[in-house]
Structure 1
């Protein structure tokens, strides 16, 4: 036994130096009585100590549309977000693996005047891909790109509180807000707000793809692929290990899985839960499951009939058995939602009461309050929204029959779903990666003027509390405001939070990484910057 233990320790030392493959280490570990899961963990922990430079990293993503744009304000999902932001660009700040906000293009930031004024210092020596030094003027122009009257940027509502943003010299950017906001550094980490070069007319050059990131754009074909080459002048010496990174839009999960198993790609997101056990049996691949802030939802337009009646909305919320759907469609992966978008792990999160559980009698009672004996409506779905959206809708249709509700499930095409269905049809499947603060999530999706308010909900009291809580420095008072907001949305909104999901992804065993971030999928959408090959 001691001999096997010594051999195992020696193998671990070899793994640290990259001199033994995962397969060789696993065979030895199994022979010494270690389980396969433990062996994979041991090897990964050892191998990641010695990142290797070079190689081409190919990533298969279950998003991407032919309508995708280089304009960061319009990035809709993980394909554009991970490829055109996390790989290509940097924002002023970023969220680390522990959920904390840290400097990115900014080396520091400091608040004053009750958090109404924020001063960011631009990191010295940072350059764009064309060699031009990044200045405070570039930062100002990049922020202003989202603030124009005609802007359709998803970041526009996040920046509504900004009264002015100005350069104070070459390295200092000063934000003046209309009220205090202790969370403002989180806001400017958003993937819609990369720093871009300023044009002579004061606008920004978003078209060329010149950014500051670990990789430089080679080619972008919307809805198909995005390829990048290493930036030799990247300002983070310990990031950006690959020579080349390629993203492939592979929306069909079976095709994505086959691409991984065949070696066409080395990483895939949104694994098929139905075949997950088979994928876990592959000795050359690792399946990861990360709990973040993400949630998979159905969103009804509350300005469209019959959803403009709160009693109809409440009837619908009691017509689906969320846990049954989680068990049968998601195979137990995830936690049932309660029509509140704030994940339990987020500060100031509450669980509004009463919980919206499956209750046919209660659903019928709410229909009766709305003056209805029965209800029929269309529900537009596609697995582009989230894996299992179609199956969930079909199961929900059967559950709703006992409530006097007939759901006509319309299966929409995956391609173009976010442009042609979401925010267009009155009741749709959708998903949110979530946000690390209550203010950020609510401002992005439920404020009256939010560009991505996919329920078209406008509640005056909610909007007042959102503004008031943002500048409240007393945490007890702030907590009470956020609790009231979550309750209002739960009671009145058009959100059906089906499940707080986990990010289930898979990758080749010769990939190494540090602690994986949970704020977005694909390691905070920065997988290309943060990961490496171990052999």
Structure 2
């Protein structure tokens, strides 16, 4: 048996905003027991974040993966990648030459899971609600180009944009644009807890313990009407404390599938082991990791300090010692496989050099060693994160130019602290909302960025981002995108580290694993079914 399956990446198509029409498809079902999927994602309701699954608030890959199963969007990224296609909509497209008026027509007979009819007014309500609530740290920035939403009759929705936005169809494929029932979601208030009601392929039942979601049960929605073929009648997602616990559950047969995040050691073992009933599927991924800076903090306020760090960090060593072949060094916020990518950090800094870093600090009259703390989350990106930060610490300290300590925190504490500005330097990961360079730049650099970074570049905000969005041909947008990346490399408000591949491990009687994740790390439970053990 060929143990390791490599899913070749699809070529990401150029975004061509055309009026598309796509009919619904019948849903299938494999029947049988629920397919159980393990994850190390943690879902916790806290005083600071009491509404983790509200589309107006949720903005991380874990919570979005729950919403994508349950809350329907007008558009969706198709199987095998490419430009988004209609989902809850029957057709969508720009209706003007300037890419500022986008119209969608809803499918006929569309219903919420409870049987209530979905109208254009519900779509308008859902989008306007996100913009009205404007949750701190939430996904509202994805809707920043909307001026007004117009509902015409029961089936037609028109988005009037403030400025041209060729990426808008992608944004309508994300959970921030999920259609919710006004009966379940108040207009001006987040919905606390772990209940989700929508019109997606599944309904959700949540098992909660100590304010944490420990198991999510997804049951096929009989009222679902969209493009997806649902290949199972029920799936469960079980949250584990770490990758080791998840792996043991797979070995015992308690779960059928492992998703993010497996440890590098687990992936290596599964990749090399030819005598097992578990298959490992490797897929192209667009995940990145980076360091973010509070540029108002005294320790890193001077640009030269951040530039010296960029000059010292050895990405090749970091990747090889922690992730091996499972990741690649990254020299820009935009991954190498995305149209518009530029190796801006390598172009500016070249190979790691203590001599150059020292000269940069001396020219700015910075006293060395520079003392600072690197913060990381202990439970969100996998067990290898601690080792990664230990290596970063060693690289910076061995230069004699820095005195770095590291500190780890649980995700439930980490995010509120980061948003309050408690950290000077902290590590984060980014799983794209959609596979376009804009989504690796605007969320970090536009006004009201989701990290609340104090860095503000007027040229990027007022000129370069809007200019890049006017180009439906994303290759034509490359000069503006490259300039943004060059400015980031010069000012270093963010320091990219690496981009990673993604993996699914499944017992060999589970089929559909090649499509269980797309390049944006979207979990697609509807693809899974049970087959014949090989």
1:172-191 correspondence to structure 2 within 5 Å: 172-191=156-175
Deviation at 1:69, TM superposition (A): 2.1
CA distance in 2, matches of 1:110, 1:395: 48
Range with bigger deviation, 390-399 or 509-518: 509-518
CA distance in 2, matches of 1:237, 1:480: 36
Unaligned runs of at least 5 residues, structure 2: 8-27, 46-50
> Which protein shows a greater Rg?
1
Deviation at 1:445, TM superposition (A): 2.3
What is the aligned-residue RMSD (CA, Å)?
Answer: 2.6
Q: 1:385 to 1:52 in 2, by over 3 A?
A: closer
Deviation at 1:166, TM superposition (A): 1.0
1:254 is aligned to 2:244:
yes
CA distance in 1, matches of 2:285, 2:233: 30
CA distance in 2, matches of 1:439, 1:393: 28
For 2:362, the equivalent position in structure 1 comes to 368
1:380 is aligned to 2:375:
yes
1:392 is aligned to 2:392:
no
Range with bigger deviation, 243-252 or 128-137: 243-252
Q: 1:197 to 1:493 in 2, by over 3 A?
A: same
For 2:520, the equivalent position in structure 1 comes to 520
1:162-177 correspondence to structure 2 within 5 Å: 162-177=146-161
1:359 is aligned to 2:353:
yes
1:218 is aligned to 2:214:
no
User: After superposition, what is the alpha-carbon deviation per residue over 1:46-104, rounded to whole angstroms, capped at 9, x for unaligned?
Assistant: xxxx9733420212112113226231222243331112x12212211111222321111
CA distance in 2, matches of 1:277, 1:486: 33
Task: Give the secondary-structure state (helix, strand or coil) at the position aligned to 2:177.
Answer: coil
Deviation at 1:421, TM superposition (A): 4.4
1:81-100 correspondence to structure 2 within 5 Å: 81-83=64-66, 85-96=67-78, 97-100=80-83
Q: 1:239 to 1:514 in 2, by over 3 A?
A: farther
CA distance in 2, matches of 1:139, 1:407: 49
Q: 1:348 to 1:231 in 2, by over 3 A?
A: same
Deviation at 1:469, TM superposition (A): 2.2
Q: 1:171 to 1:515 in 2, by over 3 A?
A: farther
1:111 is aligned to 2:105:
no
Is residue 55–residue 244 contact of structure 1 (8 Å, CA) maintained in 2?
yes
Is residue 95–residue 519 contact of structure 1 (8 Å, CA) maintained in 2?
no
For 2:139, the equivalent position in structure 1 comes to 155
Q: 1:299 to 1:232 in 2, by over 3 A?
A: same
Is residue 101–residue 159 contact of structure 2 (8 Å, CA) maintained in 1?
yes
User: After superposition, what is the alpha-carbon deviation per residue over 1:238-264, rounded to whole angstroms, capped at 9, x for unaligned?
Assistant: 522323222222131111111111111
Deviation at 1:513, TM superposition (A): 1.4
Task: Give the secondary-structure state (helix, strand or coil) at the position aligned to 1:192.
Answer: helix
Task: Give the secondary-structure state (helix, strand or coil) at the position aligned to 2:71.
Answer: coil
Task: Give the secondary-structure state (helix, strand or coil) at the position aligned to 2:123.
Answer: helix
Range with bigger deviation, 276-285 or 252-261: 276-285
Q: 1:237 to 1:376 in 2, by over 3 A?
A: closer
Give the TM-score normalised by the residue count of structure 2.
0.85
Give the TM-score normalised by the residue count of structure 1.
0.84
1:401-412 correspondence to structure 2 within 5 Å: 401-403=397-399, 404-412=401-409
Is residue 198–residue 205 contact of structure 1 (8 Å, CA) maintained in 2?
no
User: After superposition, what is the alpha-carbon deviation per residue over 1:495-535, rounded to whole angstroms, capped at 9, x for unaligned?
Assistant: 121111111231221121175353322xx22x212222224
User: After superposition, what is the alpha-carbon deviation per residue over 1:440-490, rounded to whole angstroms, capped at 9, x for unaligned?
Assistant: 33222221212234x432111111211232224676763211111111112
For 1:275, the equivalent position in structure 2 comes to 266
Unaligned runs of at least 5 residues, structure 1: 1-25, 27-34, 42-49
Q: 1:514 to 1:120 in 2, by over 3 A?
A: farther
For 1:6, the equivalent position in structure 2 comes to none
For 1:460, the equivalent position in structure 2 comes to 458
Task: Give the secondary-structure state (helix, strand or coil) at the position aligned to 2:138.
Answer: coil
